[in-house]
Chains A and B, each alone.
Chain A
Amino acid sequence: MNKKPTSSKVLNGSYSPANTWNAAPLKRWTTSIQTGPFGSQLHHEDYLRGGHPVINPSHLINGYINPDDECAVSKEKFEELIRHELLEGDMVFARRGELGRCGLVTHSQHGFLCGTGSIRVRPDRGSLQPTYLRWFMQTKAVAEWLSLESVGTTMDNLGAETVAELPIQAPSPPRQHSIATYLDRETKRIDELVSVKERLLELVAEKRRALITRAVTRGLNPKAALRDSGIPWLGAIPEHWQVERSKWLFTERDERSSTGEEEMLTVSHLTGVTPRAEKDVNMFEAETTEGYKLCQPNDLVINTLWAWMGAMGTARAPGMVSPAYHVYTPGDRLDSDYVDALVRIPIFAQEAIRFSKGVWSSRLRLYPEGLYEIWFPVPPLEEQRAIVTHIARETAKLDALRASAERTIALLKERRAALISAAVTGKIAIPDSID
C-alpha cells in the first residue's frame, strides 16, 4: 500500500469562523474504530428472520441505517460476535461500494450487529457529536479525500486504518449540536420537496401508460359506442373496430444475415427496439453474428425470453437481432407504429404470459405458435394513424413535464449538498439554541 502521508490539514479553511475550529484525524475524536467480523465468522447461512439485524453497506442510506429483517442473526450468534455490537451513537461506515456511505445508530437500533462489509466508529461524545459526524461525512470533500486515499489500495475497499486518518474539523460540541439540528430541519424540508417531485414523476409515468392504453384499446372518441370485444384483455372496444387473431395479421420473417455486418438491434420493455450501440449496459457480444435474424423497418420484433416482461416493439431501421428473437412482418391492415404502441402496454404483456411456456416464471418463452393465438384490435387504418399522432403529441407534453421535474429534483439535491458543505465548514451563520 502506497499511502501518502496525511496531516491534520483543514479541508476548507478560507472562512474566518472555521479557523478557530479543531482539526484532527478521526481517530483523535473516537474511542474505537473497528472492522466488522471476518467472512469466516458470519455466513449468509447464519441469517434468519427476526433476529439481531446485521448492518452491511446496503443498509446505509443518507446517513441513516435501514435494517433488513431477513439479514439478522440468532441470539447465540450475536453473543458469539458481541464485540461487534452496535450502540446508540455509533457510526457505521461502508467498507466497499460507494465510499463515505455511513449511518448513525439510533436508540432503537442499539443491539444491532456490525456486518462484514462495515466499519464501526465510536465517537468520543465529549468532543465529537455523532449527529454532527453524520452530516460531515456527507460532504463532497470527504468523498474526495476517501477517493484519493483509495489510490494504491483495492479501489472499492476501505480499511479501518484509512478511516482513522480521515481529517475531521469541528467546533465545540454545543456548536456541533446546533449545526446538526439546523441541518436536520433544513434537509428534511428539501427531502420533502424531492419526494413530492418523485411522486409526480411516478404519476406522469402512470398517466403515460394509461393514456397509451386507452388510445390503442378505446380510440380517441370518448363518446364512441362500445361493444364487448369478447377478448378478456381488451374488454370493451369501439363498435366499428374489428378483432383478429394475430396469425392473420403477421407473417413470420425468418431471414438470416450472411455477413453479420448489419446494425445490431436489441429489444427492451422500456425502450422497444433500438440499436444495441445506444445501450449503456454491457451486454454479451456474440463471437459471430453471421446467421443472425434480419429485420426491416416496420417489423415487429419480440425477445422470446423477455416477452413476458413486455420486451417487444417495432423496428425503425433495418438491422439484425439475436436468433433467439422472433421477427414478424405486419400485413396491410395494421400500422406499424400502432402495433409498437399496442404491444408495449402492460396488459399486452400480461396476455403474452398466458401463451408463454417455461418451467420458471422468470424464463417463460413466447413462441410464434403462442403469439399467433393472441387477438389484436384492428381499428380502421386511418384511425390507427390518428391514434399514433395523438399519442406522440400527448406523450411529448408528458415527457416535457417529466424532464422539468427531473431538473427540479437535481437542483434540490444540489442545494442539499451545498447546504451541508457550507454548514460543516462554518461558511454560514447558524444561530445558537436551535431545537
Chain B
Amino acid sequence: MPDHHDLANLVWQIADLLRGPYTPPQYERVMLPMTVLRRFDCVLARTKAKVLAEHSRRKDGKVQGDGLDQLLNKAAGQRFHNRSPLDFDKLKGDSDNIEKHLVSYIKGFSANVRTIFDYFEFEKEIEKMRESNLLYLIVSKFSEVDLDPVRVRSEEMGLIFENLIRRFYEQANETAGDHFTPREVIRLMAGLLFINDDDLLSTPGAVRKLLDPACGTGGMLAEAQNYMREHHAAAQLYTYGQDYNKRAFATAASEMLIKEVAHNGSGDNVRFGDIFTDDRFKDETFDYVIANPPFGVDWKKQQREVVREHDSGKGRFNAGLPRVNDGSLLFVQHMISKFEPVLPHLEKHGSRMAVVLSGSPLFTGGAGSGESEIRKWIIESDWLEAIIALPEQMFYNTGIGTYIWLLTNRKEKRRKGKIRLVDARSFWKPGGSEENRRSLGDKRRHISAAQIEQILKLYDHRQDGEHSKTFDNADFGYTRVTVERPLQDEAGVIQKDKHGKPKPDAKLRDFENIPLKEDINAYFKREVLPHVPDAWMDRSKDKVGYEINFNRHFYKFTPPRDLAEIDAEIEIAEKEFMRLFKEVTLQ
C-alpha cells in the first residue's frame, strides 16, 4: 500500500504534464484544486447514490439554500456534498464533453466547496487546460490516483496535501513568502506557544482554539495540529484562519475540509477577508493566536476604516497607529484583541500569542509615535513575554532579520514584569531546508531540529548567557525630556516672560532620553547641568517611549592581541623567511 510520500510523488509527477502552457511556479493553480477535487470525489463515492436520491426528492421542495445543503451533507455523511450525477469515472468516459462536464460537476458541490473553487479561479484554469489540450489528460491521470478514505485516512490525506503545498510553494520562490512560512519557523513558534501549557493541555477532553489571522495556505494551522498530535494527543486543538489572498484562502479552506476537522458545522473555520477592515472573527476569543503577517504591509487603502476604528476608542487599534507603510503593529493589536480574559472560575485561562515580525516594529518610532505607544501599551500591560531573534535569510522572498514575539495575558509568576530576549541569529545551517540544501529564493538558511530544541531551552531556562537575557519591562522604556535654555538678546540679556521666568530659546531646544529606571532629576543634575548650567527641563512635555534593539544587548568586543605577542610572531615569520630564502638561493 502506498504511503503519503508515494501518493504525493504521484501527484507531483502529473504536474510535469503541465510544462509548456504552465511554468513550474504556476503548477499549483491546477494541481492543488485537482487534488482537492479528486479527494472529494473519492470521499463522496460511497454515498453518491444516496445524495442523488435525496436531491431528486427535495430539489423542488420548500427547503433550499443552506438548509438544503445541510440535508444533502447529512446524506453524504460529510460537511460537503455533490449533487451532480457526474463523477471522475463519468468525466473520463466522455472526452468530448470534458470541459462542460467538469464545470457542471464543480457547480454540483455544496456552497462551501463551490466557494473554494471560485477562489481558486479554477474555471479559468479549466479553460486554459482545454485550450492546451491538457484537460482530458489531467483528469484521466487524476482518476487513477486512489484517494479512497478507506485506504487513505484523513490524517494521511492531510500530510499529502501539506507536502504538495510545501513543494509547489517552495518551487514558486518569489511569491511564497507572502503566504507561506518555512516549516521549521512554524515548529519553533508552536513549541514556544505551547511549552508552558502542559497542565492545560493534558486535561483529557480539553478543547483549545487557535487562530491565525494571516493564515496564507494554512501552514501554521496544520503544523500546530501536528505539534499537538505529537505532544498532547489527548487535547483537541480547533484551528481557525483568515486571509485576504483568494488562492491562499482556498488552499487553507480546502485543507480543513480534506482533513475532516470536525469541530464546527459547515467547516467555515477558514474565512476570507482583510483583517484591517473586515474581522471575520469579530468578538471571538482564542486560547492561542499565531501569525506570520506580511512584512512591511502598506495599509493606505484601508486607512479610512482603520483610523475610524482607532478614533472610536472601542475598537482594536486604540493604543496607536503605526506609519502607513508598515501595518505589522496593526496585526499585533488585532491578535491581542482575540485574547480570552483570565477568569479561572469560568474556565477561562487567558491566551498565548506568537507572531513573526521584521526588526522595524521593535524600534521604529520615537516616544509619542504610534509605534512606540503600541509597544508601551503591550509592555506596560505586561503581555510581552519574550522575543526571539532569528537568523537572516530564513524566508523565501526576503533576506531580512526576523523576530518572534511571544505575548500572553497569563505570564507565569517568574516572568511577571520581565521580558526574555533570545539571540538565535547565529543558529542556522546552510541550505533552504533540512531535506534540500539548495537555496529557495532568498531562503539560504534553515534551522535544524536540534537547533530548535536549543532555542526552546534558551527561552525556557532562567539563567542569562551569551544568547539569552532576562530584562525588566522598564529596561526598554525611557522618558523623553525637553531641555530648554534661555533666550538672550543681542546684548546677552536673558529675556523673561510676564511672570519673570526665562523664555526658552527654540533654536537651543534639546532632548534627553532618560531610562525609566533612572531618577530624572538626578540624571539631569549629573548628565546635563555640568555642561549647560543655565538649562532647565520642561516636564510638561515629557513622553514615555519604548524600544528594543538586540544589538544593544547582544554584542561582542574583540580586543586586539597584546603587542608583544604580535611582535614575537613577526620575528618568527622573518626568521622562517630567511631560512627558506637560503634554501632557494643556495641551490
Contact = CB atoms under 8 A, between A and B. Distances in A.
A192 B430 CA distance: 34
A316 B359 CA distance: 37
Nearest to A45: B438
Interface string A203-219: 11011011101100000
Contacts of A359: 358-360, 400-401
B580 A214 contact: no
A156 to B, nearest CB: 26
Nearest to B554: A354
A355 interface: yes
B78 to A, nearest CB: 40
A189 interface: yes
B369 to A, nearest CB: 14
Contacts of B400: 359-360
B560 A209 contact: yes
B549 A196 contact: no
B258 to A, nearest CB: 30
A197 interface: yes
B560 A196 contact: no
B412 interface: no
A211 B552 contact: no
A297 to B, nearest CB: 25
Given A190-B584, A209-B560, A359-B400, A196 B555 contact: no
Interface string B8-44: 0000000000000000000000000000000000000
Contact of A354 (B513, B551, B559): B551
B199 interface: no
Contacts of B581: 193
A431 interface: no
Contacts of A361: 392, 401, 425
B563 A358 contact: no
Interface stretch (B137-145, B180-188, B567-575): B567-575
A210 B558 CA distance: 11
B583 A189 contact: yes
A48 B431 CA distance: 8
Nearest to B579: A196
A204 B560 CA distance: 13
Nearest to B575: A196
Interface stretch (A117-125, A164-172, A345-353): A345-353
Contacts, number: 101
A354 B574 contact: no
A355 B552 contact: yes
A395 to B, nearest CB: 13
B414 to A, nearest CB: 28
B566 A350 contact: no
A232 B359 CA distance: 25
B577 A207 contact: no
A3 interface: no
A199 B573 contact: yes
Contact of A248 (B439, B531, B560): B531
A50 interface: yes
B559 A353 contact: no
A206 B566 contact: yes
Interface string A347-386: 1001101111111110010000100000000000000000
Contacts of B198: none
A360 B570 contact: no
A245 to B, nearest CB: 7
A189 to B, nearest CB: 5
Contacts of A432: none
Interface in A183-231: 189-190, 192-193, 196-197, 199-200, 203-204, 206-207, 209-211, 213-214
Contacts of A46: 438
Contacts of B501: none
Contacts of B439: 44-45
B437 interface: yes
Contacts of B552: 354-355
A144 B459 CA distance: 62
Nearest to A192: B580
Contact of A47 (B363, B438, B513, B577): B438
B131 interface: no
B552 to A, nearest CB: 5
B431 A49 contact: yes
A8 to B, nearest CB: 35
B561 A232 contact: no
Given A200-B574, A245-B527, A361-B401, A354 B566 contact: no
B556 A214 contact: no
B359 A358 contact: yes
A231 to B, nearest CB: 11
B489 interface: no
A70 interface: yes
A232 B557 contact: yes
A428 B438 CA distance: 50
B399 interface: yes
A360 B399 contact: yes
Give me the 10 closest cross-chain CB pairs, A-B, nearest first.
Answer: A210-B560, A49-B437, A359-B359, A48-B437, A200-B573, A359-B400, A207-B566, A196-B577, A48-B438, A248-B531
Given A350-B558, A353-B555, 7 more contacts: A44-B439, A199-B573, A206-B561, A210-B561, A210-B562, A360-B392, A369-B513
30 contacts: A48-B437, A70-B430, A70-B437, A189-B580, A190-B584, A192-B580, A193-B577, A200-B570, A200-B574, A203-B569, A203-B570, A203-B573, A209-B560, A232-B557, A235-B559, A245-B527, A346-B560, A347-B559, A350-B555, A350-B556, A354-B551, A355-B552, A356-B551, A359-B358, A360-B399, A360-B400, A360-B401, A361-B392, A361-B401, A364-B551
Interface of A: 44-50, 70, 189-190, 192-193, 196-197, 199-200, 203-204, 206-207, 209-211, 213-214, 232-233, 235, 245, 248, 346-347, 350-351, 353-361, 364, 369
